[in-house]
């Protein structure tokens, strides 16, 4: 008996005690977790695109006292500010007590998600049916996007400088759009194709209408559809050339499971981490020691390219403008800064266990997933944080009672993926990936655990409140 007790004590002392988060979770936090997740679901329902997401973030930030940042502003500790980059990304900061020469605490996430973009000349009619042609954005499994009710969101920019917002399918009573698929009775040949080839990108066309206008011609259905668009938005077909219209799943965020322990929605990747970082900044109860910076970027799903992605100079310009208010060289600030690259990771799915290393996978309800590296094959495309950085975050999280786990993105050579971490690290910023584990990532309807969402929010809070 004494020997058994000694072995138990030795195991507890020396071995990892990985447990389900609910075995460690403080039940006193249950109400706070549910409240946070309710707010998150509401945020998702009005943030179907990066533009809508940025607009809602700005609305919430202004409500919380954040002010627009302009170059040359005089700032003091405690000031809260934001900058919106071209309507698609948002940078926020809470000025800390310490000088920017001592660095900043950054959480960097992205607010774009996989979707279907309309092509520049999208409208056509075939066999008396009218369609929009699309070009998919980000890494999707094309077969998942057929026969799913879709909404259309975005803007149409006119030559006179006016920008017209478009939303079809989101309001009660609105019609939905859909991409059709082949019936099983005629799918013999399609069934022989590999999964990735059974549905082609060029076949992801949105069905718009079937009722023709009275009269003659081969484009009567197309004309009827364009007439409806003109009546509602005042646009003509040529205006679609300068439009950004995105087809997204017509799904509202909801609880999943009989126990309501999970959330199902479109766009968890990466709005679940973006919202956690954003809320953590808004909810800071006192001025942080180091300036807290929240970066909510665009274009991560296609490599963080473009003027609103994190490879652009927009982030550097924002940081340089901040540093100039204190006469600090931006390079001095960045080299002493820390960034949590807040992006989702793959949750272990026992249905597809063959592509995971079970010992190194993130599990639902085990807390925020720390990823030392992402990438593909031999860590290609990863920033690969050093041991000291991982230890630093472990210390922050443990001190703040944040539930966390270590994670990889599947088995070696099973695939891979990247985040914004490499682009932050390229700027000489100490960086580590961390985020919420997701089931069915990049699908039209992803699933996350409420506990992991809340623990990620707590983790972001710990980063912003860090003193060194």
> Rounded to an integer, what distance in angstroms lies between the CA atom of residue 418 and that of residue 343?
9
Inform me whether the pLDDT recorded for 1 exceeds 70.
no
Residue 288 — pLDDT band, cuts 50, 70, 90? very high
pLDDT given at position 347? 97
- Hey, what are 96's tokens? 């800390």
Instruction: Indicate the pTM of the whole model.
Output: 0.96
- Convert the pLDDT of each residue in 76-119 to its tens digit: 999 999 999 999 999 999 999 999 999 999 999 999 999 999 99
Q: Quote the crossing angle between the two packed helices 268-282 and 450-465, to the nearest 10°.
A: 40
Sign (positive or negative) of CA dihedral 189, 191, 195, 198: positive
Dihedral sign, Cα of residue 116, residue 120, residue 123, residue 126: negative
Alpha carbon distance 329, 462 (integer Å): 26
Cβ neighbours of residue 41 closer than 8 Å, sequence gap 6 or more: 253, 254, 263, 265
Q: Could you give the CA distance from residue 293 to residue 255 in angstroms, rounded to a whole number? A: 31
Identify which of 245, 407, 415, 434 has the alpha carbon closest to the alpha carbon of residue 339.
Answer: 434
The band of 401, judged by pLDDT with boundaries at 50, 70 and 90, is: very high
| Model confidence band, residue 9 (pLDDT cutoffs 50, 70, 90) | confident
Render pLDDT for 106-160 as a digit per residue (tens, 0 to 9): 999 999 999 999 999 999 999 999 999 999 999 999 999 999 999 999 999 999 9
pLDDT at 468: 85
Note the pLDDT tens digit of each residue in 252-284. Answer: 999 999 999 999 999 999 999 999 999 999 999
């Amino acid at each position: 008996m004494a020997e058994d007790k000694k072995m138990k004590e030795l195991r507890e002392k020396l071995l990892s005690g990985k447990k389900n988060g609910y075995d460690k979770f403080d039940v006193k936090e249950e109400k706070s977790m549910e409240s946070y997740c309710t707010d998150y679901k509401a945020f998702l329902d009005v943030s179907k695109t990066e533009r809508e997401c940025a607009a809602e973030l700005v609305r919430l930030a202004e409500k919380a006292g954040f002010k627009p940042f302009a170059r040359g502003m005089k700032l003091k500790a405690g000031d809260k500010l934001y900058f919106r980059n071209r309507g698609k990304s948002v940078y926020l900061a809470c000025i800390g007590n310490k000088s920017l020469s001592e660095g900043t605490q950054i959480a960097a996430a992205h607010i774009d998600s996989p979707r279907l973009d309309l092509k520049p000349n999208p409208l056509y009619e075939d066999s008396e049916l009218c369609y929009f042609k699309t070009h998919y954005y980000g890494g999707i499994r094309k077969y998942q996007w057929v026969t799913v009710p879709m909404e259309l969101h975005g803007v149409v920019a006119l030559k006179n400088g006016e920008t017209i917002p478009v939303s079809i399918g989101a309001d009660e009573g609105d019609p939905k759009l859909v991409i059709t698929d082949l019936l099983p009775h005629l799918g013999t040949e399609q069934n022989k194709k590999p999964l990735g080839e059974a549905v082609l990108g060029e076949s992801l066309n949105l069905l718009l209408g079937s009722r023709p206008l009275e009269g003659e011609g081969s484009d009567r259905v197309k004309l009827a559809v364009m007439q409806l668009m003109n009546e509602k938005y005042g646009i003509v077909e040529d205006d679609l050339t300068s439009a950004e219209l995105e087809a997204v799943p017509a799904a509202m965020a909801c609880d999943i499971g009989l126990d309501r322990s999970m959330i199902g929605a479109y766009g968890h990747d990466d709005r679940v981490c973006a919202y956690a970082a954003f809320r953590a900044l808004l909810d800071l109860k006192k001025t942080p020691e180091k300036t807290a910076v929240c970066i909510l970027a665009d274009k991560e799903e296609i490599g963080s390219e473009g003027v609103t992605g994190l490879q652009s100079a927009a982030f550097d310009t924002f940081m340089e403008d901040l540093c100039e208010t204190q006469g600090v060289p931006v390079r001095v600030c960045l080299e002493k800064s820390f960034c949590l690259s807040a992006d989702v990771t793959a949750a272990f799915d026992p249905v597809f266990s063959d592509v995971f290393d079970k010992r190194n996978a993130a599990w639902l309800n085990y807390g925020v997933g720390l990823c030392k590296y992402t990438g593909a094959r031999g860590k290609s495309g990863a920033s690969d944080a050093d041991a000291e950085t991982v230890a630093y975050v472990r210390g922050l999280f443990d001190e703040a009672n944040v539930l966390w786990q270590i994670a990889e993105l599947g088995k070696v050579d099973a695939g891979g993926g990247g985040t914004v971490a490499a682009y932050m690290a390229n700027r000489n910023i100490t960086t580590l990936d961390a985020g919420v584990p997701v089931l069915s990532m990049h699908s039209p309807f992803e699933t996350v655990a409420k506990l992991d969402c809340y623990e990620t929010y707590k983790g972001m809070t710990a980063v912003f409140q860090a003193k060194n």
